[in-house]
Amino acid sequence: QVQLQESGPGLVKPSQTLSLTCTVSGASIGSGSYYWNWIRQPAGKGLEWIGRMYVSGTTNYNPPLKSRVTISVDTSKNQFSLRVDSVTAADTAVYYCARVPSDFDAFDIWGQGTMVTVS
């Protein structure tokens, strides 16, 4: 059974960098066939797709966030990570990691989410 689990600081100061990790169990990130994504949801608002990465290193980002966001993969640890630079209160949200099979564009496995507050 494939599971994703987010981890990282729950509190980040304004102007600093938010860093989260998603640990994948039950599947190998390095095996290909999947895109690894980050999504967030501010309180009381809808879901916002942040971006995705393929194991080859190919990335796609949501344009409003592109200048501040980096998604990377560590196949040796079976993890992928999110970095958001220069955070503000607007980056306060529940952050989810999720997987998309390469043959259909839907998120088939999600993590439970982790709350990050910028304050």
Partner 1 sequence: DIQMTQSPSSVSASVGDRVTITCQASEDIGSWLAWYQHKPGSAPKLLIFTASSLHSGVPARFSGSGSGTDFTLTISGLQPEDFATYFCQQGISFPFTFGPGTKVDIK
**104 near partner 1, rule: CB under 8 A:** yes
Stretch that binds partner 1, among 16-24, 69-77, 79-87, 111-119 (CB under 8 A): 111-119
- Cα 91 to Cα 18, 46, 95, distances in angstroms: 9, 13, 10
**106 near partner 1, rule: CB under 8 A:** yes
Please name the residues in contact with 112: beta carbons below 8 A apart, sequence gap of 6 or more: 5, 6, 96
Contact string (CB under 8 A) for partner 1, positions 22-61, x = contact: ------------------------xxxx----------x-
d(CA 36, CA 42): 21
The CB-of-69 to partner 1 minimum distance in angstroms stands at: 12
Q: Enumerate binding residues for partner 1 (CB under 8 A).
A: 4, 46-49, 60, 62-63, 96, 98, 100, 104-113
